[in-house]
Amino acid sequence: MHPARTQYASGRGYLAACTLGLPSAATREALATDLERWAGGRASAAEYSSVVERARGHAATLLGTRPERVATGSQVSVFAGLVAASAAPGAEVVCIDGDFSSIVAPFLARGDLRVRHVPLDALADEIGPGTSIVSASLVQSATGEVADATAVSRAARDAGAFLLLDTTQATGWMPTDDLDADVLVCHAYKWLSAPRGAAFAAFSDRAIADLTPHTAGWYSGADPWASCYGPDLHLAADAGRFDVSPAWHAWAGAEIALRQAAELDQAGVRDHDVRLANAHRERLGLEASDSAIVTWPDADGDDLAALTGAGLVASGRAGRARVAFHLWNDDEDVELAASALGR
- Quick: pLDDT tens for 69-83: 999 999 999 999 999
CB of 162 closer than 8 Å to CB of 134: yes
Q: What is the pLDDT at residue 304? A: 97
What is the predicted pLDDT for the residue at 281?
Answer: 97
pLDDT band at 63; cut points 50, 70, 90: very high
Asked if the domains 3-23+265-340 and 45-263 are classified in one and the same CATH topology, the answer is: no
By C-alpha distance, which of 147, 152, 171, 190 is closest to 322?
Answer: 190
DSSP 3-state of 58:
helix
Listed in sequence order, the residues at least 6 apart from 223 whose beta carbon sits closer than 8 Å to its beta carbon are: none
Q: How far are the Cα atoms of 141, 175, 328 from residue 17, in angstroms, in the given order?
A: 11, 16, 10
- C-alpha 58/C-alpha 249 separation (Å) is 17
- The reported pTM is 0.96
* Mean local confidence (pLDDT), 154-159: 98
Q: With respect to CATH, is domain 3-23+265-340 assigned 3.40.50.410?
A: no
Helix, strand, coil shares, percent, the chain, to 5: 45, 15, 40
Count of Cβ atoms closer than 10 Å to residue 82 Cβ:
23
Asked if residue 132 has pLDDT above 80, the reply is yes
What are the domain boundaries of the chain?
A: 3-23+265-340, 45-263
pLDDT surpassing 80 at residue 1: no
The tens digit of pLDDT for each residue in 82-102 reads: 999 999 999 999 999 999 999
Going by CATH, does the domain composed of 45-263 fall within 3.40.50.1970?
no
What order do you get walking across the sheet with 320-324 strand by strand? 293-297, 320-324, 315-317
pLDDT band at 10 (very low <50, low <70, confident <90, very high): confident
Tens-digit pLDDT profile for residues 188-236: 999 999 999 999 999 999 999 999 999 999 999 999 888 889 899 999 9
Which H or E run includes 224? Answer: none
**pLDDT-based confidence at 55, cuts 50/70/90?**
very high
Compute CA 143 distance to the chain's CA centroid, rounded to the nearest angstrom. 15
Task: Judge whether 10 and 23 are in contact, CB under 8 Å.
Answer: no
Dump pLDDT digits (tens) for 276-307.
999 999 999 999 999 999 999 999 999 999 99
Rg (CA), the chain: 20
Between the CA of residue 295 and those of 95, 187, 279, what are the distances in Å?
Answer: 21, 21, 13
pLDDT for the residue numbered 58: 98
Alpha carbons within 13 angstroms on the beta-carbon side of residue 290 total 10
Vertex 79: Cα angle to 78 and 82 (nearest 5): 90
Assign 2 a pLDDT band (cuts: 50, 70, 90): confident
Residues sharing a CB contact under 8 Å with residue 147, sequence separation 6 or more, in sequence order? 96, 120, 123, 136, 137, 138, 139, 140
> 231-268 pLDDT, tens per residue?
999 999 999 999 999 999 999 999 999 999 999 999 99
